[in-house]
């Protein structure tokens, strides 16, 4: 019975994960180099300030970009903060986590690509 359930779950994920990724792909924003006063960063800070869930995919966690995105400010609506961490080793995680000023970020496994990360945390469902 458990094997049949696992097969059904795998087939369901093969259908739902690509659909969910396609649905949110138009909402993905790239943090470009620029000033904190750029309209893109101002809009990003506004969206983050209103968000309950923020998920970083393929993000380098450069301190300047985290600062530009406004994570030093209180974010009362934020309940879940996730970030993929492909290639980041255990020794690098504390410095990433500390940049979020007391907000808990759930980082993925350093070996997980973006799809595996999204499936691990079930962010899309």
Give the model confidence (pLDDT) of 69-120 as tens digits. 999 888 999 999 999 999 999 999 999 999 998 899 999 999 999 989 988 8
pLDDT at position 59 is: 92
**Within-domain flag for 1:** no
**Within-domain flag for 75:** yes
pLDDT at position 2 is: 52
Q: How many CB atoms within 10 Å of residue 41?
A: 19
How far is it, in rounded angstroms, from Cα 72 to Cα 102?
Answer: 9
Has residue 31 got a pLDDT over 90? no
Domain count, the chain: 1
**Within-domain flag for 44:** yes
**Within-domain flag for 8:** no
CA quadruple 18, 23, 27, 30: dihedral, nearest 10: 20
**Within-domain flag for 54:** yes
**Within-domain flag for 100:** yes
pLDDT at position 22 is: 57
**Within-domain flag for 97:** yes
Paired tokens of 59: 């993000």
User: What are the Cα distances from residue 34, in Å, to 26, 53, 101?
Assistant: 22, 24, 22
Structural domain that includes position 88: 29-121
**Within-domain flag for 24:** no
Paired tokens of 113: 């690509």
Strand partners, 83: 56, 107
Say whether pTM exceeds 0.75: no
Paired tokens of 66: 């985290």
CB 46 within 8 A of CB 73: no
What letters, b where the CB count within 10 A reaches 16 and e where it falls short, cover 115-125? eebbeebebee
């Amino acid at each position: 019975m458990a094997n049949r359930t696992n097969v059904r779950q795998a087939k369901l994920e093969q259908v739902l994960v690509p659909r969910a990724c396609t649905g949110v792909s138009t909402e993905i924003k790239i943090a470009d180099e620029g000033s904190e006063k750029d309209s893109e960063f101002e809009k990003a800070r506004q969206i983050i300030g209103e968000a309950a869930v923020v998920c970083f995919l393929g993000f380098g966690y450069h301190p300047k970009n985290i600062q530009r995105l406004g994570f030093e400010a209180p974010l009362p609506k934020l309940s879940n903060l996730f970030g993929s961490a492909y290639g980041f080793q255990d020794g690098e995680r504390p410095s990433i986590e500390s940049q979020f000023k007391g907000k808990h970020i759930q980082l993925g496994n350093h070996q997980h690509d973006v799809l595996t990360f999204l499936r691990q945390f079930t962010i899309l469902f």
